[in-house]
Amino acid sequence: MTPELGQLALILALLLALAQSVLPLIGAWRGNNALMAVARPAAAGQAVFVGLAFFILVWAFLHFDFSVQYVADNSNLQLPWYYRIAAVWGAHEGSMLLWVLILNVWTVALALFSKSLPDVFVSRVLAVLGIISVGFLCFILFTSNPFGRLLPMPPDGADLNPILQDPGMTFHPPVLYMGYVGFSVAFAFSIAALLGGSMEQSWVRWARPWTNAAWGFLSCGIVAGSWWAYSELGWGGWWFWDPVENASFMPWLVGVALIHAQAVTEKRGSLRAWTILLSLFAFSLSLLGTFLVRSGILTSVHAFASDPRRGTYILCFLALVVGGSLLLYALRAPKVAGGKAFALISRESAILVGNLMFTVAAAMVLLGTLFPLLGDALDIGKVSVGPPYFGLLFPLLMLPVMLLLPFGPFLRWGKSDTSVLSQVLTRAGIAAAACAVIAAFFVHGQLKSIAGVACAAWVAVGIVLYMAKRWREMPRGRRYPAEMAGMLLAHFGVALFVIGVLLSESLSVTRDVRLSPGQTATVGGYEFRFDGVTQTTGPNWVAEQGVVTVMRNGSLVADMHPQKRTYSHEQVQTTSAVDPGITRDLYVALGEPMDPNHVEGAWALRLYTKPFIRWIWGGGLFMMLGGFVSAADRRFRVKRETEAAQTILTPVRESQA
């Protein structure tokens, strides 16, 4: 009976979402306060019912209700409780439910924290979020019902894909969706602004903390996914330019551009139409990502079940939402190039260059991702572009960004003088050159590493110089407001990321070896001794566990235990052993026994040393932190409607931040 209640809850949520999307729009159009007032209660009610449906699905997993098809397909009696919760979003139906749940979390947060904004505006924003919710609830109810029954009820279920049985699975999808779906808020703000047609720019200020927070979540989700792939898949890589990874990376790239464009529009009034367009793009790419992952249109390692009916549905929804919003943009976007003029050397120009690079990078990733499809469409056979394409073009596009980054904060809005810039150029340039020389001593002519160190030093020293300038020139308490602190953190993350990527890419050593118990292999100065294989068991798997002792210069560095697990349904999954460190990771993956009948004999092992790889994720986490910190700036918390009204009348004061 309970699963049917879940379905009923979804139907009620759909009805409330319809009310939330239609009535406030009419209210805002006709100036009817009663209809506009429907938005908040309808959003709250919808969230309650979506939450209830989600809870019922969790409950069904926790209580082994195998009469629910989705539960029977993705869990069994041996699966530990935490993976049974993660299994809720382990396959298509549940992950769509998670999508809608998170959309509701954002909607309710917006309904709560928008009391000071004009009612007309908030009703429109909530209505747009309601429309998106309607689309996804219909999708779930008509094509992907997670509450479908399976009769007769089987005694036990199938298994959750072993790759997904990892702590990363409990964490990565919800956080990633928080980011993906969070861009819906910036999207809704833009649509509301287009519908309102007002020329004012205060909505951008209201939208900024939401965009920054969503982007922070997206950064965190991507980092979590990358780390998970690294530790679980046994390839030792951290990014594969896989279509599904790209699907999350494209909104992230556009998100970077959007965050900066919003800053320009808020403070200077320029780039209005561009900011609107970017917020449409960011969320459109989130939807497109959902489409790519869910329609199975591109084959990928994430290999979700494909169903043409679902693909067709999402495509129609995509066409309505994205096509509709772009059409609205064409009709209503601000016609006059508003805002203050800016000179060639100004902060606006620098941000514009960065924006251009990030947008082109997103387009480049989109083209690469869809290339196999283009190949089919133009009938030039199966073609796909892989890491060589992305690995060449992406750094090329990011190079100008890196070069400009230290100057950014020093540049003034409108027009900047060049004297301070040449000072930065000299100091950061000397620091970068010095670091490059020092690095050259250690890495023996690895150009990539030297470039990485120099580039990171260039960026980091630029940040430190700016921090010092603020320290000298500003009174206490006003030196680093949250918005600026966030910017500094995120930019510092860029430096960490660059050094991590280039050092680990160029200095990593991989060896595939065949070792009998007692034999050693040396990789990157570390001696890996293989001490044979033992049997071990987990809650729902048995494993052969290699014992590998790592020594360096005669002293013990780590005991490592790579596993080859066999899950309850004969699915085999390797679990690599990683010994993490700030300057290097040691990584061991267990391959196959040379003779399947003699597991006590020699085994194939893959050994890696990966210098500085952790800095990649460290950089990502700094960027995430930057997003969150700047979202928390008090300046964004508009208190009264009067104040909001004032910002409409008098353009925002010129701010140095």
Partner 1 sequence: MSRLVPFFAFVLLAALLGFGIWWNSAHDPTAVPSPLINKPAPAFVLPKLDDPRQMVSKDSMLGKPYLVNVFASWCFACGEEHPVLMAQSKQLGIPVIGYDYKDEAADAKAWLGQHGNPYDVVITDQSGHTAIDFGVYGAPETFLIDGKGVIRYKRIGPLTPDVIAQQLMPAIATLENAP
Strand partners, 575: 563
Task: Name the maximum alpha-carbon separation found in the chain.
Answer: 82
When the beta carbons of 2 and 299 are compared against partner 1, the nearer one is 299
Rank residues 261 and 459 by Cβ distance to partner 1 and give the closer one: 261
Concatenating the DSSP letter of every residue in 392-420 gives: HHHHHHHHHHHHHTTTGGGSPSS---SHH
Shortest separation between residue 465's beta carbon and partner 1, angstroms = 39
Least distance CB 199 / partner 1 (angstroms):
16
The structure tokens listed for 304 are: 């979700």
Nearer to partner 1, 377 or 556 (CB): 377
Q: How far is the CB of 521 from partner 1 (least distance, A)?
A: 13
Would you say 322 or 431 has its CB closer to partner 1? 322
Nearer to partner 1, 95 or 284 (CB): 284
Q: DSSP secondary-structure letter at 318? A: H
Residue 390 beta carbon to partner 1: minimum distance, rounded to whole angstroms = 18
3-class DSSP state for residue 282? helix
Q: Reply yes or no: is the peptide bond before residue 80 cis, omega within 30 of 0.
A: no
Tell me if 279 sits within 8 A of 189, measured CB to CB: yes
- Least separation in angstroms between residue 362's CB and partner 1 is 13
Quote the least distance from Cβ 628 to partner 1, whole Å.
30
Are residues 560 and 583 in contact, defined by beta-carbon separation less than 8 angstroms?
A: no
Secondary structure of the chain: what % helix, strand, coil (to 5)?
Answer: 65, 10, 25
3-state SS assignment for residue 554 = coil
Residue 109 or 604 having the CB closest to partner 1:
604
- Give the whole-angstrom CA distance, residue 263 versus residue 246: 26
Using CA atoms, how far residue 84 sits from 1, 80, 421, in Å, is 20, 6, 56
Give the 3-state secondary structure of residue 11: helix
The span from the CA of 575 to the CA of 590, in Å, is: 8
Residue 285 CA: distances (Å) to CA of 183, 205, 282, 330, 427 = 10, 23, 5, 19, 39
Q: How far is the CB of 279 from partner 1 (least distance, A)?
A: 12
Give the residue with the Cβ less far from partner 1, 207 or 288.
288
Kindly report whether the peptide bond that precedes residue 152 is cis, defined as omega within 30 degrees of 0: yes
Q: Alpha carbon of 141 to those of 177, 214, 440, 587: distances in Å?
A: 20, 27, 60, 44
Tell me how far, at minimum, the Cβ of 334 lies from partner 1, in Å. Answer: 10
Distances (CA, A) of 291 to 282, 313, 318, 596: 14, 9, 8, 42
Nearer to partner 1, 375 or 395 (CB): 375
What angle in degrees, to the nearest 10, is found between the helix axes of 119-143 and 167-196?
A: 130
Q: Which helix (H) or strand (E) holds 603?
A: strand 603-611
Closer to partner 1 by CB, 284 or 416: give it.
284
Residue 529 sits at the vertex; the CA angle it makes with 525 and 533, to the nearest 5 degrees, is: 145
- C-beta of 308: minimal distance to partner 1 in Å? 4
Q: What amino acid is encoded at 383 in this protein? A: V
Closest contact distance (angstroms) between CB of 381 and partner 1 is: 6
Residue closer to partner 1 (CB basis): 71 or 602: 602
Shortest reach from residue 568's CB to partner 1, in Å: 21
Q: Report, in Å, the least distance between residue 292 CB and partner 1.
A: 9
CA separation for the pair 78, 81 (Å, rounded): 9
Residues near partner 1, by CB under 8 A: 273, 277, 280-281, 284, 288, 291, 295-299, 306, 308, 311-312, 315, 318-319, 322-323, 326-327, 329-330, 333, 370, 373-374, 376-377, 381-382, 512, 514, 591-592, 594-596, 604
Smallest separation (angstroms) from partner 1 to the CB of 425: 36
Query: Which CB sits closer to partner 1, 514 or 635?
Result: 514
Nearest to 601 by CA among 547, 534, 532, 548: 532
DSSP one-letter code for 320: I
CB 146 within 8 A of CB 47: no
**Secondary structure class of 275 (helix, strand, coil):** helix
Contact 16, 45 (CB under 8 A): yes
Question: Which residue's CB is nearer to partner 1, number 148 or number 308?
Answer: 308
Of 592 and 641, CB closest to partner 1: 592
Per-residue 3-state assignment (H helix, E strand, C coil) for 283-302: HHHHHHHHHHHHHCCCCCCC
Quote the least distance from Cβ 193 to partner 1, whole Å. Answer: 15
What gap in Å lies between CA 189 and CA 258, rounded to an integer?
A: 13
> Which residue lies nearer to partner 1 by CB, 27 or 243?
243
Q: Which is nearer to partner 1, 273 or 560 (CB)?
A: 273
Which amino acid is present at 145? N
Report the nearest approach of partner 1 to the CB of residue 264 (Å): 19
* Number of C-beta neighbours around residue 445 at 10 A: 7
Beta strand residue intervals within 568-602, DSSP E: 572-575, 577-579, 584-593
